[in-house]
A and B are shown apart, each in its own frame.
Chain A
């Protein structure tokens, strides 16, 4: 697998960093290399949050995104501010509930309302991971499910699995 660069952005509290972490861990389970980095404002909640993941079957030297293959925006601010560094054919994925984007090239999926319907808004990031997995195959479904299971509280596993499947379907899987 060639080097793939994924940027996930939103606001603090949406589980942006965690979803990047899960993605990276899934890549390791697939036998690939991965790095994950993050940045956020000083606020613990509500500020801008960004998580970058690079997946490759080779050694990853430069650990930051230069030209994202995938850009996921979970907030309007993130979408407006972080559109740079994209390839011509980058996949842009937005949370349709929170981001207003006009371009047809952009794929919108209702992460938040899907999660809300399941009873927990905070699993929107896992809905997103489901959609991303289906749309890109960047990690295997088995590995990412395993990674999700090890990173959410035991009693929340079920709802997260449901969230993933919903997202996976919305992503065309």
Chain B
């Protein structure tokens, strides 16, 4: 019994091509279109709607849904299912994301493709469950222990939640790594127009399988792409998967510095060296701008409104929106810093991405935080007021 991708069936399950839905729902549509066949999750506000819709649609699309006993188990289950050949996903919010961290590290170390959607809410701790936030940007990067790279994307609309969920699956399959979709309570609960992409309008990437026979297969040996081919449990390749530092054959190597260095550097390099092709940004620049707004995710919405209002007043302003968060789009930020004198960074936290932004800008422009925590989005006015104050 193995899942087969049946596009017709999936479209039937999704229903109408144009829908007025929440971001939590469009994530489900994106996952189904990408070929997700296994979902494990645990209820948490504001991500529960995704699990609810998955429980309804995934079995009809030929997959399986399980509500696990907690987020640790959910993360474990999607990793196990991935080795059994499924494209897998879980969704959660801050507190659950914290619980998943150890197993996210396991997925990095064992090169297990899987997608984690974090519908961020206000924290720390239980915080304000129904209020959106961008408080997990750094947790996504450094939440699990040890040296590693991670891929994280952040959508600013319901449509983009669908599009980036597909992209998240593709990146996870291509690079054999967990991919985090950092959405939030604002976008997750917002209803907007969502159009299901047609065949040919999006790509579906599947992990590479072994190209040699069982005797010659070396499970963690990579070619120049730095990504090894992945055998599926049950296919006779006898793969041993461990979170311990391991050699190419998969056996543990717990005290060799060389083995550890070779493995961890490759895990980092396979993402780091592809930074360019993983990076997605939206640029809207004007000739002669001296100021810019740099935003991402939900806070890019009031930011875009502020840009529009400023331009209506004939003020020149650049706008850069990060879609890929990790690996960090250093070059794009540096380019912006070269163009303008001041970059305003509205975030729904007390300052997270402002740090890598400052690092990337290397002092070429002044980076000014526009933080907001608790409650809904910044208003465009708040952002404009912050820009009026001479920093």
Asked if B302 is an interface residue, CB under 8 A from chain A, the answer is yes
Q: Which of A31-39, A101-109, A126-134 contacts B (4 or more CB under 8 A)?
A: A31-39
Q: Contacts A28-B193, A36-B191, A37-B189 given: A63-B301 contact, CB under 8 Å?
A: yes
Inter-chain CA distance A63–B190, complex, in Å, is 8
Within 8 Å by CB of B376, from A21, A33, A64, lies A64
Min Cβ gap A102→B in Å is 30
- Mask of B163-205 contacts with A, CB within 8 angstroms, 1/0: 0000000000000000000000010011111000000000000
Beyond A24-B191, A63-B190, whether A39 also contacts B377 by CB under 8 A is no
**Contacts A21-B20, A62-B380, A66-B381; is A37 near B304 (CB within 8 Å)?**
no
CB < 8 Å: which of A36, A40, A42, A61 contacts B190? A36
User: Quick one: which of B191, B304, B376 contacts A61, CB cutoff 8 A?
Assistant: B304
Q: Known pairs A62-B379, A64-B376. 8 more at Cβ < 8 A? A: A24-B20, A35-B192, A36-B190, A38-B189, A39-B130, A62-B302, A63-B190, A66-B379
Count of chain B residues with a beta carbon within 8 Å of a chain A beta carbon: 20
Main secondary structure of the interface of A (DSSP, over half): mixed
Other-chain residue from A21, A39, A40 in contact with B191 (beta carbon distance below 8 A): A21
Nearest 10 interchain pairs by C-beta = A62-B305, A61-B304, A36-B191, A61-B305, A25-B20, A62-B302, A35-B192, A37-B190, A62-B380, A28-B20
Query: In the complex, how many residue pairs between chain A and chain B have their CB atoms under 8 Å apart?
Result: 55
Which residues in A have their C-beta under 8 angstroms from that of B379?
62, 64, 66
| From A25, A37, A38, A62, residue with most partner B Cβ within 10 Å | A62
Q: How far is the CA of A33 from the CA of B194 in the complex (A)?
A: 11
Residues on A close to B: CB < 8 A? Answer: 21, 24-25, 28, 33-40, 42, 60-64, 66
How far is it, in angstroms, between the C-alpha of A21 and the C-alpha of B193 when the chains are bound? 11
Distance between A147 CB and nearest chain B CB, rounded to angstroms: 9
Complex Cα gap A24–B189 (Å): 14
Question: A25: which B residues are within 8 A, CB to CB?
Answer: 20
- A62-B18 contact given A21-B191, A24-B191, A38-B189, CB 8 Å threshold: no
Contacts of A38 in B (CB 8 A): 189
Bound CA span A35–B186, Å: 12
